[in-house]
Structure 1
Amino acid sequence: MEFSQEEPHKVSLKKFESMLKTNNVLFFDSSEFENIIHHYLNQGKVSLAKKAIKLGLDQHPTSTNLKLFQVEIYVFENKLKEANQLLDALYILEPSNEEIYIQKANILSKEDKHEAAIKVLKTALDLAEETSELHSLIGMEYLFLDKFQEAKHSFMRCLSEDSEDYSSLHNVMYCFDFLNENNEAIKFLNEYLDNNPYSEVGWHQLGKQYYAIKEYTKSLNAFDFAIISDDRFVGAYLEKGKVLEKLKRYNEAIENYALTLELDDPTSFALLRLGCCHEKLGQDDLAKQYYYKTVKEDPLLDKGWIAITKFYNKQKNYQKALYYINKAINIDSENVVYWKLFAQINHRLNYLEEAERGYKRALELGNYELNSWLQRTDILLQLGENEAASLNLIQAAEFYPEESEIEFRLAGIYYSILETEKGSYHLKNAWTINPENAIIIEELFPTIYKSLTFKKALNKLQ
């Protein structure tokens, strides 16, 4: 129950706070105390709520509702033994009070006894007149158990009784998404919207589902209906902008993103997308301005720094690109894409040691693309690290056992260190896979390519 802002309740709150300041004990009826406690709990002012509960129970020692608030405080403070004892006493007095079961389930949930909590909540269903909240609570317990089908049906039951419980609507969509049931979600939302045609949240969710299956025109229509239902719905404008980008309608996307800046405080997401749209339109100065606004708004948004990095990389301003990729990596040092970009930029600047470090880190993080193995190998060869290069290639061969580019490089390395038997073995493998890639030896090992030993080995294969 929210604390009402109607005058009598405001008077009660003012009277209560005045009493606390003066230490004069005033009388309140139990419903006044309930509203005061609700208000403080909703505001997160637990210490004031505790004072109101104590004073309330002093004046109304038999009030079940005030005792249930005491249980809530016990649970919040993790005093589960005290909470259970008080609930047991209340159960003897009022065995048909569903709130007792709700609090009991809350305790069981906190003890990770979710199946038991569900059982208790289902008992409460038989006692309650209004069951939407109970279905929602049961749904949450199923979520804790990763039982998404059961959770989905519970939240649906909740919505069938309270169509404006948007928390349950979001939870239903979460279940559909986890189960990869986009078409089922779309069917559910269309039925929901037949009964709630002005639900901006429903239209917004429908737009997201169509977006997920790349039905961009239908997605756009859904977001338009969300905006018709609430023309200040920032989330709908942001999602509409994303769809317009997919449709390459960048000017319209810009209009929608810009509207969000007028309706609410700027978000780093909107600023970043504005930068991307302007860049797609070739408006580099505007793009750069928005990218810098993005990182000013949220200095810890690595995607903002990456956008600036790619902007300068595209303009071949590699020194600036390097400066900004380092900022992104400082925020997210486990991102494979960032390390690859770090390696590529350093390579273009001929900072070979740093480029090699970037590719090595990308490989360590699980980026096993062939190009990463080969680029690192070629850099190691340039640095004269033949042994490290061969070890790198041997690792690469575990992922790409039939790759001539790996085999030709190994052949070149072994011939260059005079291990001709190994060199001949890898040369034969490479030639069998794809003889056209023999040019690799000429490009990376020109001295070996011209040597008499290598030419004899090659002639035997031709």
Structure 2
Amino acid sequence: MKERFLFNDTPPSEELINRYKRYTAGESAGGYFDVEEVEMLADHFLHQNTEDALRVIDMGLQQHPNHQDLMLGRIKILADRGNLNEAMHLLNLLINQECYEVQLVKIELLTKFNRIEEAKKIAFNILAQPQEEPELTYLDISDIFRDCEQFETSLFILEHREKTNALSVDMLFEKAYCLEQIGNYQDAILTYQAIIAVDSYIGEAWFNLGQVYYTLQEYKDALHAYTMCVTIKEDDTIAWIQKGHTHFFLKEIDNAYTCYMRCIKTYKDKWELYIFIAECFALKQDYENAILYYKESIRQNLDNHRAHIGLATCEIEMGNYPTATKLLNEAIKICPDAYEAWFYLGEIESRQQNIEQAITFYQKAHTLNDADVIVAMTLGNTYANKRDYEQAIPYYHKASEHADVLQRTEALMFLATCYFYINNHDMALYYIEKAMKEDAGSLSLFYALCPEGMEKLSETIEKTNNKTTN
């Protein structure tokens, strides 16, 4: 996202800043600042304190009364501070209401008032007129609607331009961003690929493309994109981190470790990087090294619940349940909503056959995050193992809502099993058929879970299987 400026991105000189500071401190008897100097000073102070930027503009208006650009700067600051009525009042006092900059500010103010249709009307009227710099006009207006999260409108404006003119790289980036925000990832991918087709050395396009693939869990494509990104810019730490994450999810643990270690000198939050490295060792069941890195992470950031939880999982795997319990309770003290900590407390109780206490912890974890598939499946399995199938069903349902294809077919077959055991064979068949539509090979799981079901429902299941495969 572009950095916001009231006027332009030209920085003031140190001499100008010092001259202004001497003037405001009363160290110089007089001081005159031309409009351009006022604008540079206002933008300089805007990124530190809006009150200071407002003082600069007010000083400028004393020296240049009613100057429209300075008035617009004042209006923008008031709007950003939430003084919308005052901002709109001042805007309506401006003489040249048809000025392009005035109309842009009016569109922005209307969006802040949530008067979106009025804002659109002005925007579309501007776009219907001949423009000296049409690309900048489309970008300016698209940006306003994007910033107020009216992504569909922003996208409509960009695509309207695209009907008659190929979009520039800047406009393609805007389009891709909006597509991502509305969840249209496939078109976002095509748009980033269009940018790369224009210039294959734009690292940002490769990185963003990688992020979309990563979101979609298409890790091999994500890995290619991140690899291209770090090839273009070898010192792109964030790209190396994302490349490491992608290797991790592909179970290429040594490669993930190499990526993380490459960032050891440049990554700002070392404590977080140590967690990533520890997770590599933990996945390789090298718990001693994992523990070293988790402890170093905690040493660098004591209020670090993630490292406490990671360290606890290592202690669990090593059978050190009291130590793990203490660490998890410390994590909960730091972050009471850390559902993973509650889940692993449940795991400790489950391993010690304290099933009712385990369920209590699992339910707490599920309450904090009902979208976590592992937590929901674990609760379902725990109830199913107790033959409490009716209690298991809602958790398998919840898991199937949030799972990927592999996990979803598993959850659906568990549902089929539960329904079979409560003698609701119609529902059992319904979920078997639903699972087989996604993965015809999933039937073997049902037979493994429910051999009685194979015996009683085999004829009907065979018909379903034939219907699915034909």
After TM superposition, the score normalised by the length of structure 1 is 0.71
- Counterpart among 182, 187, 198 of residue 184 in structure 1: 187
Map of 2:77 onto structure 1: 73
Cα deviation, residue 136, structure 1:
4.7
Map of 2:124 onto structure 1: 122
Amino acid at match of 1:402: Y
CA separation of 1:71/1:181 partners in 2, compared to 1, >3 Å: closer, same or farther?
closer
Q: How far apart, CA to CA, are the structure 2 residues paired with 1:215 and 1:435?
A: 38
Matched, 1:98 2:103: no
CA separation of 1:225/1:370 partners in 2, compared to 1, >3 Å: closer, same or farther?
closer
Map of 1:402 onto structure 2: 419
Matched, 1:371 2:381: yes
Map of 1:381 onto structure 2: none
Cα deviation, residue 192, structure 1:
0.5
Q: How far apart, CA to CA, are the structure 2 residues paired with 1:39 and 1:146?
A: 27
Amino acid at match of 1:112: N
Bigger mean CA deviation after superposition, 296-305 or 32-41: 296-305
Q: How far apart, CA to CA, are the structure 1 residues paired with 2:131 and 2:323?
A: 65
CA separation of 1:312/1:49 partners in 2, compared to 1, >3 Å: closer, same or farther?
same
CA separation of 1:285/1:404 partners in 2, compared to 1, >3 Å: closer, same or farther?
same
| Rg (Cα) greater in structure | 1
Amino acid at match of 1:253: A
Amino acid at match of 2:314: F
Matched, 1:202 2:205: yes
Q: Deviations over 1:280-324 (max 9, x none)?
A: 344333221222233344445543333222211111111122122
Map of 2:20 onto structure 1: 16
Aligned runs of 1:415-430 on 2, under 5 Å? none
Amino acid at match of 1:36: L
Aligned runs of 1:156-235 on 2, under 5 Å? 163-164=169-170, 169=173, 172-235=175-238
Q: How far apart, CA to CA, are the structure 1 residues paired with 2:203 and 2:452?
A: 62
Runs (5+) with no aligned partner, structure 2: 1-6, 371-375, 396-414, 425-449, 454-470
Counterpart secondary structure, 1:192: helix
Matched, 1:55 2:59: yes
Q: How far apart, CA to CA, are the structure 1 residues paired with 2:423 and 2:242?
A: 45
Runs (5+) with no aligned partner, structure 1: 379-391, 408-432, 437-462
Cα deviation, residue 213, structure 1:
4.7
Counterpart secondary structure, 2:25: helix
Q: How far apart, CA to CA, are the structure 2 residues paired with 1:19 and 1:341?
A: 62
Map of 1:27 onto structure 2: 32
Q: Deviations over 1:329-384 (max 9, x none)?
A: 44554565543421220243466774353245356665474323356x69xxxxxx
Counterpart secondary structure, 1:261: coil
**Contact 1:75 1:83 survives alignment (8 Å):** yes
- Counterpart among 32, 37, 56 of residue 42 in structure 2: 37
Matched, 1:261 2:267: no
Q: How far apart, CA to CA, are the structure 1 residues paired with 2:191 and 2:21?
A: 48
**Contact 1:71 1:87 survives alignment (8 Å):** yes
Q: How far apart, CA to CA, are the structure 1 residues paired with 2:83 and 2:113?
A: 12
Amino acid at match of 1:99: E
- Counterpart among 10, 31, 35 of residue 4 in structure 1: 10
Q: How far apart, CA to CA, are the structure 2 residues paired with 1:54 and 1:150?
A: 35
Aligned runs of 1:118-157 on 2, under 5 Å? 118-125=120-127, 126=129, 129-130=132-133, 135-136=138-139, 138-139=141-142, 142=145, 148-154=151-157
Map of 1:84 onto structure 2: 88
Cα deviation, residue 231, structure 1:
1.8
**Contact 1:149 1:175 survives alignment (8 Å):** yes
Aligned-residue sequence identity (percent) comes to 20
- Counterpart among 317, 323, 326 of residue 314 in structure 1: 317
Q: How far apart, CA to CA, are the structure 1 residues paired with 2:335 and 2:298?
A: 15
Cα deviation, residue 36, structure 1:
1.3
**Contact 2:309 2:340 survives alignment (8 Å):** no
Cα deviation, residue 20, structure 1:
1.0
- Counterpart among 213, 223, 241 of residue 244 in structure 2: 241
CA separation of 1:326/1:354 partners in 2, compared to 1, >3 Å: closer, same or farther?
farther
**Contact 2:381 2:392 survives alignment (8 Å):** no
After TM superposition, the score normalised by the length of structure 2 is 0.70
Q: How far apart, CA to CA, are the structure 1 residues paired with 2:196 and 2:394?
A: 54
Q: How far apart, CA to CA, are the structure 2 residues paired with 1:214 and 1:364?
A: 25
Q: How far apart, CA to CA, are the structure 1 residues paired with 2:134 and 2:270?
A: 38
CA separation of 1:11/1:3 partners in 2, compared to 1, >3 Å: closer, same or farther?
farther
